[in-house]
Amino acid sequence: MTRLPDLLPSGTTAVPVACVSAAGWAAIREGLSQRHQAYCAAVDFAPKAGRIVLLPGEDGRVARVLFGLGEPGGDRLVAGKLPGLLPPGAYRFDDGQDAGFDAAEAALAWLLGSYRFTRYRQAPLSPRLVAPDGVDAAEIVRIASAVAMGRDLVNTPANDLGPAEIEAAARLLAECHGAAVAVTKGEALARDFPMIHAVGMASPRAPRLIDLTWGDDGAPLVILVGKGVAFDTGGLDIKPSAGMLLMKKDMGGAAAALAAADMVMASGLPVRLRLLIPAVENAVSGNAFRPGDVLRSRAGLSVEIGNTDAEGRLILADALALADSETPDLLIDFATLTGAARVALGPDLPAFFTEDDSLAEAVMASAKAAIDPVWRMPLHAPYASLLESKVADLNNVSGGPFAGAITAALFLRRFAPKTKAHIHFDLYGWNPTTKPGRPEGGEVQTARLVFDLIKRRWPKWA
């Protein structure tokens, strides 16, 4: 797995980096030597977001870096561009930054932008950052390391990451934090979690439910559920080739849940954590589940299969039924679930659903604080009629072109009816292009948000 470079200790000799806003540029330029002012003019430096200039010293080496922040209200992770722009070496954020500069955000952005997927080829040396004074450097590193772990899982192709490897990742996490892991598969899975078994039985790689537990029994119970479809062919409703190209990322919900759990456990938050990952491969073979089949669920509801490519909600439903029986204080599921959410909100903005208005406000506050954006979508109850079946309690799809993300969320709510504090995240799990702090490739959207939400809801000192 990728290991991000730690922040260097405070006091390490390093090249200063001045992060310059449009409003602060005049004052910083005035403080430069005449030679450096002339150099900035010669290269036409302006403090636009992501612009950089390396100011040479007398010996020809980089003496100082100027980096543009742009206008207020811009990308708060813009400092994540720096690792890709600077030569290897040690750097520190300069003293006397603009009033709007947030050193903790910039340091996190730097580490997030340092990520490279290195399983199959070596990455070049990266520049290193000195921990800024006055920030919780250990927490920043914990968050960035958890994100890197999750990104690695999403980026790993399905030939090297199936249900067993997702289980191995959960076991490694448990070993690091003193958690326990139980795994259900085989006949026990078919009996107790019949829809997880049905979705995964066509693959030679056995489906399973991974169950990680951590924390004190008397603490508030938080259950995270992550969709772990290691690869999704679509089943017998097979996807076209173009639709399969990114299907290694269909376990992005499991990766996000694992990353969030890593942050919670590493920080020692005062909660009792349970992490459930239904891990399967939706493959095609003679025993694959079929359109028109009727499946029994753990909750006792019968489900008609309108489309085998809507498999994620089936495996989540069985896991949610188990979670709901525990009456958790907070239940969160993460899933790369619908294309409809992407059509509505694009790849960068996951949809979330909850019936709890105060919880929705807290989610939005944490999204802003963690720079992990989401947007609330409605659980419009009348649309539940679109999931009606003539032969079963409900269908797994609506059968029409409308409100696909909403009907998927309504389907899931049928399997966790008792837990009001339930959040469903419908995410993309992938950065189509490189943005500051978000390299192209796998992404664990909403993991930092959820860590912030749990930390605010149950602070250590409470």
What are φ and ψ of residue 67, in 5° steps? -135, 130
Rounded to whole angstroms, how far apart are CA atoms 72 and 68?
12
Is residue 327 a contact partner of residue 389, using CB atoms and an 8 Å limit? no
Question: What's the chain's Rg over C-alpha atoms?
Answer: 24
Is residue 413 a contact partner of residue 317, using CB atoms and an 8 Å limit? no
Q: Report which residue type is found at 458.
A: W
Considering the candidates 81, 208, 248, 313, report the single residue annotated as catalytic: 313
Residue 108 in tokens: 């996190």
Is residue 336 a contact partner of residue 232, using CB atoms and an 8 Å limit? no
Question: What is the pairing mode between strands 302-304 and 394-395?
Answer: parallel
- Residue 239 is among the residues annotated as catalytic for this protein: yes
What are φ and ψ of residue 54, in 5° steps? -100, 115
For residue 255, count other CB atoms closer than 10 A to its CB.
Answer: 34
User: Distances from the Cα of 387 to the Cαs of 310, 394, 416, in angstroms?
Assistant: 13, 6, 16
What is the H or E stretch that residue 62 is in? strand 62-70
Rounded to whole angstroms, how far apart are CA atoms 422 and 420?
5
Rounded to whole angstroms, how far apart are CA atoms 265 and 59?
48
What are φ and ψ of residue 212, in 5° steps? -105, 135
What is the H or E stretch that residue 63 is in? strand 62-70
Is residue 277 a contact partner of residue 170, using CB atoms and an 8 Å limit? yes
Considering the candidates 29, 239, 376, 435, report the single residue annotated as catalytic: 239
Residue 267 in tokens: 């920080």
- CA-based diameter of the chain, in Å? 81
Is residue 410 a contact partner of residue 379, using CB atoms and an 8 Å limit? yes
- In three-state form (DSSP H/G/I as H, E/B as E, the rest C), the secondary structure along 341-406 is HHHHHCCCCCEEECCCHHHHHHHHHHHHHHCCCCEECCCCHHHHHHHCCCCCCEECCCCCCCCHHH
- Residue 435 is among the residues annotated as catalytic for this protein: no
Q: Which of 259, 260, 309, 249 is closest to 429 using CA atoms? A: 249
Map tokens 């119970």 to a residue.
221
- Which positions are catalytic? 239, 313
